[in-house]
Amino acid sequence: MLLSQQADCVLAASVKEDSTPYRRLVDARIPIVAFDRALPGLAVQSVAADHLAGSQMIAEHMLSLGHRHFAVIGAPQHSPPVQARVQGATERLAEACLSAQMVLGPAHDCDACRALAVGILRNGSVANRPTAVIGTPDIAAIGAMHAALGMRLSVPADVSVIGFAACQNRALSYGLRPRWRSRCSRLACSWWRSWWRGSPGMWFNWWICRCVWWCAIRRQRRAKRLLAAI
């Protein structure tokens, strides 16, 4: 398609380090710049972050805060940057004679990363629970914070969370929205239907709706305080 459109140059941001789709462009002498992913076997220019050194700096920062129980969450596991970041963090922790609970997921998704974090935070005793979670990319860190809030853990008092990417506050606040909001909406609709039909359970549903809504407001305020502290 790019050949038919007579592209003058191509900025390649490939999901995987696969150069096969770009060989025809190189044969046609079209300049290519690989962004954040190398294209093995092709003589092209590339621009990328130093994922290895960056993750080592992250681990160094968490060590400087006094943490000794670490967890590393990464997704998707096939991503070369994620693999490099995990490698850098674990290597720096190994230099400090420490290890980390490591879990890699297949999906770049907030809910999927939240499930990974819940598994780590609930695994074992409180004494062995990680006090520092390194998430790569930021969506994994968002999932970890969401998991901590769901378990009534304070961030960063009970567990510190740090991410590696460039996620903006809008995405961060999206990840920390109270998950009870949809449940409360369903209960409110159920209460209105009961009231309209004159159901005997009208007042019971009303009180349940009030209680759930109150809990959702409290969780929202906790999320806002956490955002203000970041």
Q: Structural domain boundaries of the chain? A: 10-47, 51-175, 181-229
What CATH class has 51-175?
Answer: alpha beta
pLDDT at 193 over 80: no
Write phi, then psi, for 3 (nearest 5 degrees). -65, -40
Which of 222, 121, 141, 118 is closest to 180 using CA atoms? 222
pLDDT at 116 over 90: yes
Mean pLDDT taken over the chain: 79
Those residues whose C-beta lies under 8 Å from the C-beta of residue 65, and which sit 6 or more positions away, are: 132, 160
pLDDT at 75 over 70: yes
Share of the chain above pLDDT 90, in %: 34
Distance of CA 178 to the CA centre of its chain: 16
